Amino acid sequence: MTDIQHYVAPTSLEQAAETLRAGDVTILAGGTDLMPQSQSGRLKIKRTLMNIHHVPELNGIAIDGGAIRIGALATMTDMLQSKLLQQHLPILVEACDHFASDQIRNAATLGGNICNASPAGDTLVPLLALDAEVELASKPNGSLSRRRMPLSEFFIGPGRTKLGATELLTGVRIPLPGPARTARFFKFGTRPALDISTVSIAIAGTLKDGALSQVRVAFGAVAPVPMRAPRTEQALEGRRLDAASIDAIADVARDEVTPIDDVRASAWYRKELIHNITKRMLAHVAQT
């Protein structure tokens, strides 16, 4: 049984933040996770169900300063079809393309994918490699207060984030990559559609003379949170990519992850995947 006492659909960020300040709120956006989780009893909808679909500020994909800002309500389909993202952030578009099915891509939002904080969340790994920041808003004392946080600090455990109980994630900001920036993404699953990642990997860096610098490496589904991999990044930083160095870096990657055994794969298998796919991706980078 549910104890929902109020349903609200605010039409401004101010109203939404006001509702959150009153406390005990469950946020509804795409609904693709909230519905099955609440129906199965894994999640209990709180006293107030707040539908944020009508808050204009949560929409849009646009360049803002030196960054691309993606509103929390952008769906996977919105991102997949965005010319701006196709041009500047192709690995994010790739992740959206591998996301569930057409029906779910048409409903599921970026904000939802982030706030659900699944270690296997499809967009989270490329976002980490792209240095994304989350924008958070709240209304602690009568006026709207905003803060930003690197996505790499946002996740604290499976399904758990640093989002405050009275805060709303309004969007994501990703610095516009420079012209020499290169990035790769790979999701491994057993079938193309509707599969939860067994592992996923994103690698970004500035490629010069066969070596990557300012390296970002992110892994999904191999730790309690989608993770940046600082040791692998360090091993990769400035190192000329050849067969021997790629082997050594892939070894570091395998040792850095801490996967679990579950229905999708054993921990051992996931470590082997991280090793082999990292190797393959770096070989691909080396050839360009």
Partner 1 sequence: MSLKHEIEFSLNGVKRRATVRVDMSALDMLREVIGLTGTKYGCGEGECGACTILVDGLSLNACLMFAVDCQGRELVTIEGLAADARADALRAAFVEHGAVQCGYCTPGMVMQASHVLAAHPHADAAAIKRGIEGNLCRCTGYKKIVDAIASVNSADKEGVAP
Residues that bind partner 1 (CB under 8 A): 1-2, 4-7, 9, 28, 30-32, 34-36, 38-40, 45, 49, 51, 53, 77, 100-104, 106-107, 192-194
Closest approach of Cβ 75 to partner 1, in Å? 9
Of the pair 7, 268, the CB lying nearest partner 1 is at 7
Q: Residue 203's CB: how many other CB atoms inside 10 A?
A: 29
The kind and range of the H/E element at 249 are helix 243-256
Of the pair 53, 280, the CB lying nearest partner 1 is at 53
Closest approach of Cβ 251 to partner 1, in Å? 36
Q: How far, in Å, CA of 119 to CA of 196, rounded?
A: 10
Of the pair 99, 219, the CB lying nearest partner 1 is at 99
Closest approach of Cβ 192 to partner 1, in Å? 7
Of the pair 71, 205, the CB lying nearest partner 1 is at 71
Residues pairing with 205 in the sheet? 182
Of the pair 93, 222, the CB lying nearest partner 1 is at 93
The per-residue b/e assignment along 83-109, b for 16 or more CB within 10 angstroms, e otherwise, is eebeebbebbbbbbebbbeeebbebbb
Q: How far, in Å, CA of 116 to CA of 48, rounded?
A: 18
Closest approach of Cβ 118 to partner 1, in Å? 15
CB 245 within 8 A of CB 238: no
Closest approach of Cβ 19 to partner 1, in Å? 14
